[in-house]
Amino acid sequence: MTVYGGIETGGTKWELAVGTAPDDVRATATVPTTTPAETIGRALGFFEREGPVAAVGIGSFGPLDSKLGSPTWGHITTTPKPGWSNTDVGPEFRRRLSVPVAFDTDVNAAALGEHRWGAAQGLDTFCYVTVGTGIGGGAMVGGRLLHGLMHPEFGHMRIPHDLAADPFPGACPYHGDCWEGLASGNALAARWGAPASELADDAVWALEARYLALGLVSVISVLSPERIVIGGGVMRRPGLLPLVRQEVVALVNGYLDVPAVGAEIATYITLPALNSRAGVLGAIALAQTA
């Protein structure tokens, strides 16, 4: 039976898998994100040992070039991550493994995974948001992953920031207090001086829920998704998601007269069904399109 390779490249680690579906994962591995040469080399070693695979899907942090036919297709481009800007990733796997490679954002891959096997099955238009080290978003519209000019970069929109109440200037090297700069795991750690997992004060999480909701209201206003699937390490905080839902409903304030942004908010904004495997399983789904 044909098997596929999936890679989720993250800022701190790469998740690798060989298989065909969530219940048919033949092998997995995690490698730390160090230099491009070392990290890519370890991933190639994994697929050489566990393969052969028919194709590889890569869901990557970005920004990146996923435009087929572009001279820099398959490259991570302007990422603020040190050492990783303008890195050839997709073409390298294609050359070294001699198989087709599909290359997209980690969040578009996760969206595809959730559409195929998770919380977004059967939907036409929805988005996947991750709140981890950074904030990212991917989307499917009309049953296709959204690309457009490049790909969505949800994390870099601006949201209201009351400097009197929250003097933290923001953690984004490009934009300071964009959505990611205010509400990502990195932002939480920089603002409060401890990792998100160690923050217990209710005020911390009330502010976080407010910022997350402000961004989601922009997503709803622009994209009109049928569902928002929201994952990432920060969302594992108990009680955070219900607070986010409350804030979204309060911010929309009845303007959108649909149950999704009212009585049905708990199914409208939901965790990924594939949990933390959405990205790497989505990458396997991506490979199947290569």
**Which positions lie near a second copy, rule CB under 8 A?**
63, 77-78, 124-126, 137, 139, 141-142, 144, 146-161, 174-175, 214, 217-226, 251-258, 260
**Coil, strand or helix at 223:** helix
Q: Please, which residue, 97 or 213, has the CB nearer to a second copy?
A: 213
The closest of 242, 250, 239, 238 to 214, measured between CA atoms, is: 250
Are residues 40 and 89 in contact, defined by beta-carbon separation less than 8 angstroms?
A: yes
Supply 173's token pair: 């090297």
Task: Please report how close the Cβ of residue 9 comes to a second copy at its closest, in angstroms.
Answer: 18
Q: Please, which residue, 235 or 251, has the CB nearer to a second copy?
A: 251
Are residues 108 and 146 in contact, defined by beta-carbon separation less than 8 angstroms?
A: yes
Q: Please, which residue, 39 or 79, has the CB nearer to a second copy?
A: 79
Task: Please report how close the Cβ of residue 146 comes to a second copy at its closest, in angstroms.
Answer: 6
Q: Which residue has the tokens 């087709």?
A: 100
Task: Please report how close the Cβ of residue 88 comes to a second copy at its closest, in angstroms.
Answer: 15
Task: Please report how close the Cβ of residue 30 comes to a second copy at its closest, in angstroms.
Answer: 28
DSSP 153-217: -GGGSB----TTT-----SBTTTBSBHHHHHSHHHHHHHHSS-GGG---HHHHHHHHHHHHHHHH
Q: Which residue has the tokens 């294609």?
A: 94
Q: Please, which residue, 92 or 177, has the CB nearer to a second copy?
A: 177
Q: Please, which residue, 88 or 153, has the CB nearer to a second copy?
A: 153
Task: Please report how close the Cβ of residue 52 comes to a second copy at its closest, in angstroms.
Answer: 33
